[in-house]
Amino acid sequence: MHDIKFIRDNPRDFDAAMKRRGLTPQSQDILRMDEERRKVMTELQELQALRNDKSKSIGIIKREGGDAQAVMDEVSALKARMGDLEERDRSLMDRISQHLAALPNIMQPDVPDGADEDDNVEVRTWGQPRSDKTPEHFEIGEALEMMDAETAAKMSGSRFTVLAGPLARMERALAQFFLDTHTAEHGYMEVSPPLIVRDNALFGTGQLPKFAEDLFRIPEKSNELETEVTSSRWLIPTSEVPLTNIVADSIVEEETLPRRYTAFTPCFRSEAGSAGKDTRGMIRQHQFYKVEMVSITTPETSIDEHERMTRCAETILQKLNLPYRVVTLCSGDTGFGARKTYDLEVWLPGQGRYREISSCSNCGDFQARRMNARTRPKGEKQTRFVHTLNGSGVAVGRALIAVLENYYDAEDGGVFVPDVLKPYMGGLTKITKDAMKKAAA
């Protein structure tokens, strides 16, 4: 959400910011509605003062034995006029709010201009990409008889996968390793949040109303006897939603900031508009697991916190010894709610290219305004909006894909277990078909 005062004071700057997002000028329409609303509010205040004066005069006239009916009629007319103006005020406020809610965040000045992902800017690389071409992850998993999309499709449809045996354990091991690293080394507090949220939570983080088609909606009935749907809840697309909403509609004391939260949850996405993309394997699923990082900070520290969060995600990939690169998303690829985003892209030798495994974004006060999340220094009355950040720390499924392809052994089709995961794998050092048979036995 945007600050209407900023738009009043800086209409050209606001339009320039929206132009970077590929939008036409917006300030004129917004300010026209805002000016009309301010006129309505001014008239309301004037009528309120007039009604108060006339209401007082009614008592005086009656005490003096006069006939106050004419003044009483005037007061009734004023009340009716005020009711009309109040309804007009609500209508204008709704229109302004809906308009502002549909507009993306203002990006940081250092975000590079560009049309799409081809214009993203590489910041740095780490590790030496494997030069030989390996099978893709689904070919490896199917050959090991531990990855089964066909069975998943029978029960759930496309874009689901069943993992079994040591491969299922490795998925769990990755999540535990991520959480242990972020909590013990990076200062994040582990949270187990709800997986189902209301409309307001998704509005607060920017998924609603714009991205409703990307979500899974759960219709609700007011009671068991009624058939009419009266409200909705939603499966979370990422734990960014519940973690960020921990501070919604609250005033956070500034000395408690930054607050850093992490969670391991399933994520649910409809993948609207992704027909034909990554149809095989686990790259693009309706249900997947992710360890999320969320930070709540002051405006002065959010840029540094963004760099820190990105380094935390990088640490995970470095500990797994997975080659990756960091890119700054250009203006045409930056998400709706972000001021600036770094993507971490891990090397997948099966595809012979880098693929996104983490996205770390600074949202500034964009989400905080939508959630009404504020902060204030201890002992002071004045409040201001917090800044919010979110990042994958990292996507568990894509990390599993990267391990399968980067640790693949062409000699026997097995997959070596990364050193940092061995404590979580019961001493298993390599995933092979024999390991699957032992697990089944």
The DSSP code for 377 is: -
Is there a catalytic annotation at residue 269?
yes
Residue with tokens 């969320």: 294
Catalytic (active site) residue 356: yes
Nearest-angstrom CA–CA distance, 308 and 174: 21
Strand partners, 295: 260, 389
List Cα–Cα distances, 111 to 217, 298, 314, 400, in angstroms: 34, 21, 20, 31
How far is 330 from 342, CA to CA, in rounded Å?
10
Active-site residue, from 37, 259, 339, 398: 398
Starting at the edge strand that comes first in sequence, how are the strands of the sheet with 229-235 ordered?
A: 196-198, 229-235, 216-221
Least Cα distance to 101 among 369, 413, 297 occurs for 369
- Any residues with CB less than 8 A from the CB of 224 and at least 6 apart, and which? none
Contact indicator for 331, 114 with CB cutoff of 8 Å: yes
Asked about 284 being catalytic, the answer comes back as yes
Please compute, for residue 217, the number of CA atoms within 13 A of its CA located in the half-sphere on the CB side.
14
Which stretches of 90-148 are assigned E, i.e. beta strand? 121-126, 147-148
d(CA 62, CA 338): 63
Catalytic residue among 239, 331, 359, 361: 359
Nearest to 48 by CA among 89, 85, 73: 85
Say which of 284, 311, 376, 384 is annotated catalytic: 284
Q: Does the CA dihedral 260-263-269-275 come out positive or negative?
A: positive
Q: Catalytic: 370?
A: no
**List 269, 339, 370, 374, catalytic entry:** 269
Q: What is the DSSP letter of 65?
A: T
Q: Cβ(376)–Cβ(251) under 8 Å?
A: yes
Catalytic residue among 74, 356, 376, 384: 356
Q: Are 415 and 408 in contact (CB under 8 A)?
A: yes
Q: Provide the 10 A C-beta neighbour count for residue 153.
A: 14
Beta-carbon contacts of 357 under 8 Å, excluding residues fewer than 6 positions away, are: 317, 324, 344, 345, 346, 392, 394, 395, 398, 399, 402
Q: What is the rounded CA–CA span in Å between residue 242 and residue 197?
A: 7
Q: Would you please indicate which residues are annotated as catalytic (active-site) residues?
A: 269, 284, 356, 359, 398
